[in-house]
């Protein structure tokens, strides 16, 4: 906790875009994300084509993001069309980008750990990051505070909006790190 609300985008073998919600995910390495992935249409798609996008759901996209976690592409082939999300092609990988999300990581599968019939731990390497200009800070880097990103509440099954900045990392603690006289 907190768990980001991530939308995994893949293509089915016939080119239909698919997307699923994943909140059991985290940082594996500087440029790698790990996701606890069950057995889904997404899992099948990644075995056929190990390329994907990871986008971060927002306050404005709660309904489609949750829908993508309730319904499987195995049963509802046009789930992405039904979600209302706008689909574009990624620049660097063969996977869909959903323009409604402020930030998208274009990724390739680096490893599938502990693979079994029930899924795996997917390690995805980030090859590119797409961010709309309006979500950039003055220094040209992504401004997370502008994005209204969500965190999943596993206790009461809610989506919470991540709040504002309250401190400076690797810096505020220095106030207590005064040299002994």
Ligand X SMILES: Cc1cc2nc3c(=O)[nH]c(=O)nc-3n(C[C@H](O)[C@H](O)[C@H](O)COP(=O)(O)O)c2cc1C
Binding site for ligand X (CB under 6 A): 18, 20-25, 35-38, 40-42, 66, 69-74, 119, 152
Ranges assigned E (strand) in the chain: 3-4, 6-11, 17-22, 25-29, 32-37, 51-56, 87-89, 96-98, 103-116, 119-131, 150-153, 158-161
Residue 174: CB minimum distance to ligand X, A: 36
Residue 91: CB minimum distance to ligand X, A: 23
Q: Which is nearer to ligand X, 69 or 146 (CB)?
A: 69
Residue 129: CB minimum distance to ligand X, A: 21
Q: Which is nearer to ligand X, 37 or 97 (CB)?
A: 37
3-class secondary structure, 62:
helix
Residue 46: CB minimum distance to ligand X, A: 9
DSSP letter for each residue of 95-144: SEEETTSSEEEEEEEEEEEEEETTEEEEEEEEEEEEE-GGGB-TTSSB-G
Q: Which is nearer to ligand X, 36 or 146 (CB)?
A: 36
**Closest CB to ligand X: residue number:** 69
């Amino acid at each position: 906790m907190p768990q980001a609300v991530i939308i995994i985008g893949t293509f089915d073998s016939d080119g239909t875009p698919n997307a699923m919600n994943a909140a059991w995910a985290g940082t594996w390495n500087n440029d790698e994300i790990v996701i606890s992935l069950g057995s889904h249409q997404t899992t099948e798609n990644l075995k056929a084509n190990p390329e994907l996008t990871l986008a971060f759901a927002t306050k404005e996209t709660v309904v489609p993001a949750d829908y993508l976690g309730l319904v499987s592409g195995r049963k509802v082939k046009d789930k992405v069309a039904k979600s209302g999300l706008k689909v574009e092609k990624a620049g660097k990988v063969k996977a869909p980008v959903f323009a409604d999300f402020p930030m998208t990581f274009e990724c390739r599968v680096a490893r599938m750990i502990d693979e079994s019939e029930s899924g795996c731990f997917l390690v995805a390497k980030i090859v590119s990051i797409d961010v709309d200009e309006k979500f950039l800070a003055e220094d040209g880097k992504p401004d997370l505070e502008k994005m209204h990103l969500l965190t999943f509440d596993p206790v009461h099954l809610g989506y919470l909006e991540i709040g504002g900045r309250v401190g400076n990392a690797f810096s505020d603690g220095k106030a207590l790190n005064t040299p002994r006289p």
